[in-house]
Amino acid sequence: MGCRLRTTVQVHPAVLEPAIPDLQSLQRQERENRWMDSSNYDRRHRVRNLSDLSLGDQVWITDTRSTGTVTSAHETPRFYLVSGSKGTLRRNRRNLVPMSADNSSKTLEHAAGVDPHDTSADTGQVSSEGPPGSPQTVRTRSGRTIKKPDRLDL
């Protein structure tokens, strides 16, 4: 395609002269290629920007599994200085989870009467309904009646 064939056929001497590409157009093309690669990666992997943290925010530090308080933003982008039980740490924003969002969701679950340790609602277990004297109808969580096959009627 772009490689010159080695042949014994004669060629014009001007074809054999090396040509230097235009540096500015080459740099522009490489910059555009890098930008397209970056945007395609971001779109494919659903990259999103995390919100900024402010001074004094309570955060969960994921790698040390402890809580801390944001003391200041670091001069490098996306990094924060966090004081916690293990001293002052420099952490990237992706390692810091704001505590206010976690606390509000737990408070809403507690107010609604949802037990966070109760897994029966999530696992699809069946519930039995009906008066105590009548045969019980077994239903799924969505309300569908479960009919057992006849072959299991022993």
The CA distance from 153 to 61, in Å, is 56
For position 126, what pLDDT does the model report?
45
Residue 137, in any domain of the structure = no
Contact 90, 133 (CB under 8 A): no
**Residue-number span of the structural domain to which 99 is assigned:** 58-103
Tens digits of pLDDT across the chain (154 residues)? 567 778 899 989 888 888 888 999 999 999 999 999 999 999 999 999 999 999 999 999 999 999 999 999 999 999 999 999 889 999 999 999 999 754 544 433 443 444 444 444 444 444 445 555 556 788 888 889 988 888 866 6
Q: The domain that contains 72 carries what CATH number?
A: 2.30.30
Residue 68, in any domain of the structure = yes
pTM score of the predicted model: 0.48
Residue 18, in any domain of the structure = no
Q: Into how many domains does the chain fold?
A: 1
